[in-house]
Structure 1
Amino acid sequence: MKVPEGFRIDLARRVQSRLAERVVEEPLGEFDVVVGLDVAYRGDLGVSVAAAYSVREGKAVGYSCSVNRVVFPYVPTLLSFRELMPMVRALKRLAISYDVVMVDGQGIAHPYGLGIAAHLGVVLGVPTIGVAKSRLFGDVVGDRLVDPRSGKVIGAVVRCRKPLYVSIGNRITLDDAVKVVKELCADSSMPLPILLAHNKANELKRRAATTAFDKWGEASC
């Protein structure tokens, strides 16, 4: 898949840089319901799932999903231009309130300071955490990720079964983000809300509809 005709990478970079300035770092406070977001693909379909997990109840308390036509290719450092819309659609369908959102992707640990978790958090104005399986940007110094250009701490390395790269998305501190991830790691390679979203998205993609899309390219799941 090619970048859509008329799409300008330089303008996308300017959007990222401007939105990165709007990321807010603030304490999360008490939390209970944590939502995990993930997208699974089948051909030109993207199935996004929001999975809500209650820490107090120790179980999933809600799911929502959205099936979308894939309109943008995978381009390193521009993941949000591919996955933001499907993730927002799934999250907006969730019928339960939540305290924080975990995204399978980067937060501010990104060359332009705006990975998908930060992009989503700024657009919706909600607390978000980026939880990535691989390091996109930053030098590992102990258990921290450091911006090699400024020396600023932009993330942390947290071990579940494997190392994860955790960074602020929006409206949370790095210490709080690490606390939430550690509390929900359990005995898996990803925090439970993201794992639940990942598993459900992969289950749904096998039977996702390929017709009946609305004019915005979305179908029910």
Structure 2
Amino acid sequence: MIVPRGFDIELARRVQRRLAERVVQIPLRDVQYVVGVDVAYKGDVAFSAAVVYSVNEGRPLEYGCSINKVVFPYVPTLLSFRELMPIVRALRKIKTKFDVVLVDGQGIAHPYKLGLAAHLGVALGIASIGVAKSKLYGEIRGNLIQDPRTGEVIGALVICRRPLYVSVGNMVTLDDAVNIVRSLCKTSSMPEPLLLAHNKANELKRRQPAEFDKWGEAPC
């Protein structure tokens, strides 16, 4: 792993450990509006999208987006520090009050129990679920993912045409997370809100960003 000069990886790890202690697992009730978030990259520019999906109507209602200069390097197991700002900026463009966010990444199924979904959930104080296409950490036991150090269940496999690795981000239970993801697997190998966010982020990536403001964001 190549770490950029001046980057304090130990400080980032301490932040992860501190924030991981703030993850809350509580039942999530009456889910009507689910947001999918995703980030696409082109060079040193991040294109983020957040799409509000109505569970009752089975369709997208609203989306927010953000185009940002990348300010944090890619470091394995520290992806949330890179993607958090673009995702938060996209979410803040949304006016609909949503119930939970699906994140293309890990929740607590992470070596430091703070994947992108957990970091986002704790930082914003919202319910979040990690939905990853591959396993980052843990041992598979049937359809569950266990922490090899403690035996704790930290995630589950959900088949959505392909296996997805689902874990708690914040303010949900694992049962909630599994049931929500399973119910939203409609037409592809991703739950519908994440598919919509993925497509929107990649659509944005085809655009040429306008001038960036002093905070490193361009209009989208």
Q: What band does the TM-score fall into relative to the shorter chain?
A: over 0.9
In 2, Cα distance between the equivalents of 1:138 and 1:216?
37
In 1, Cα distance between the equivalents of 2:180 and 2:189?
15
**Residues 67-216 of structure 1 mapped to structure 2, 5 A cutoff:** 67-209=67-209, 211-216=210-215
> What is the one-letter code of the residue matched to 2:155?
G
Tell me the CA shift for residue 19 of structure 1.
0.3
TM-score relative to the length of structure 1? 0.97
> What is the one-letter code of the residue matched to 1:71?
V
> What is the one-letter code of the residue matched to 2:140?
V
Tell me the CA shift for residue 61 of structure 1.
0.4
In 2, Cα distance between the equivalents of 1:208 and 1:150?
48
> What is the one-letter code of the residue matched to 1:17?
R
Structure 2 SS opposite 1:195? helix
RMSD value, Cα: 1.0
Structure 1 SS opposite 2:23? coil
Tell me the CA shift for residue 187 of structure 1.
2.6
Structure 1 SS opposite 2:83? helix
In 2, Cα distance between the equivalents of 1:36 and 1:3?
30
> What is the one-letter code of the residue matched to 1:216?
W
Name structure 1 gaps, 5 residues minimum. none
Q: Which residue of 2 aligns with 1:217?
A: 216
Structure 2 SS opposite 1:167? strand
Tell me the CA shift for residue 176 of structure 1.
0.2
Which digits, 9 at most, give the CA deviation of each residue in 1:162-190, with x for residues without a partner?
A: 00000000000000000000000113100
> What is the one-letter code of the residue matched to 2:23?
V
Tell me the CA shift for residue 75 of structure 1.
1.5
Structure 1 SS opposite 2:41? strand
Tell me the CA shift for residue 4 of structure 1.
5.2
Identify the range of structure 1 (211-220 vs 145-154) with the bigger mean alpha-carbon deviation: 211-220
> What is the one-letter code of the residue matched to 2:215?
W
In 1, Cα distance between the equivalents of 2:157 and 2:135?
9
Identity %: 67
In 2, Cα distance between the equivalents of 1:98 and 1:214?
28
> What is the one-letter code of the residue matched to 2:80?
S
Change (3 A) 1:4 1:151: same
> What is the one-letter code of the residue matched to 1:192?
E
Q: Which residue of 2 aligns with 1:53?
A: 53
TM-score relative to the length of structure 2? 0.97
In 1, Cα distance between the equivalents of 2:34 and 2:85?
20
In 1, Cα distance between the equivalents of 2:195 and 2:75?
24
Tell me the CA shift for residue 70 of structure 1.
1.0
Structure 2 SS opposite 1:212? coil
In 1, Cα distance between the equivalents of 2:145 and 2:200?
30
Tell me the CA shift for residue 81 of structure 1.
1.0
Which digits, 9 at most, give the CA deviation of each residue in 1:73-97, with x for residues without a partner?
A: 2221000111000000000111211
Structure 1 SS opposite 2:161? coil
> What is the one-letter code of the residue matched to 1:217?
G
Tell me the CA shift for residue 5 of structure 1.
4.4
Structure 1 SS opposite 2:203? helix
In 2, Cα distance between the equivalents of 1:7 and 1:97?
37
Tell me the CA shift for residue 134 of structure 1.
0.3
Q: Is the 8 A contact 1:67 1:208 kept in 2?
A: no
Identify the range of structure 1 (3-12 vs 123-132) with the bigger mean alpha-carbon deviation: 3-12
